[in-house]
Amino acid sequence: MSTEMLQPIAARPANLTAMVVDTIQNAIIDKSLQPGTAISEASLASALNVSKTPVREALLRLRHIGLVVPADRGMRVVSPSPQLIRYAYELRAGLERSAALLSGERASDKDLEEIESAAKSSVAHAEAHDADGFRSCDLQFHTLIAQSTKNPLILSAVSDAATLTRALRARDVRTTGDSILCAQEHLAISAALNERDGETAARRTHHHINHVMTIVLGGYSNATTD
């Protein structure tokens, strides 16, 4: 699938580059831009009806995240592989373990209430087999923990790593036993944070991310052998 699937950006906001980043990023995650697709500044600028400058800046940002990689001419959308999936989830596991540890020290009572609410919502959506709802709550849960560290660099790094893993998934965690168990792990992490036990929250978070990695690697293996 080519850049023809992208819709022009009609508005001209103050931060046009950020909008270009979001547009391309979302197209990669939802597979409008398929893995391995060759892209160039010129083709993207034409498709989005913007100049090359914000596209160039956006591609630098997306390369930093890991969503695009250099090609012979221009860039191409990153292609999943078992090794790259493992690398990305190992990065997330380390980052989010640290975030959970700091959250145990720094999270406010309001932060903890929001984290617990997101965890409970993820369980409800998983049990209702609501895939979109579960994914939304899952992202919110992990983002809230990163936010509660009060460290913007951790929040940015966690967000980037989560974006990369979303793009690399051969399939999303299914809303069956997999997602229900993952949601229950959210509750266990939240419970540890409510006790201000950052060490336990960090350990449970590390286990949780590695559990998700195992599920995703299994899904990738199944997808490539179907």
pLDDT range class, residue 205, cuts 50, 70, 90: very high
DSSP code string of 138-151: HHHHHHHHHHTTT-
Q: Using CA atoms, how far apart are residues 73 and 214, in angstroms rounded to an integer?
A: 34
Most confident segment among 32-46, 191-205, 208-222: 191-205
pLDDT in tens, 146-181: 999 999 999 999 999 999 999 998 655 555 678 999
Q: What is the mean pLDDT of the chain?
A: 91
Which residues are paired to 38 by β-bridges? 76
Confidence at residue 191, expressed as pLDDT on a 0 to 100 scale? 99
Tokens coding 226 = 């179907």
Which residues are paired to 77 by β-bridges? 68
Q: What is the arithmetic mean of pLDDT over 83-110? A: 98
DSSP 173: P
Look-up of token digits 């932060």: 111
Q: Using CA atoms, how far apart are residues 214 and 56, in angstroms rounded to an integer?
A: 35
Which residues are paired to 69 by β-bridges? 76
Tokens coding 208 = 């949780």
Which domains does the chain show, CATH number per domain?
A: 3-77 (1.10.10.10), 82-225 (1.20.120.530)
Instruction: Give the residue among 93, 83, 59 at the shortest CA–CA distance from 168.
Output: 83
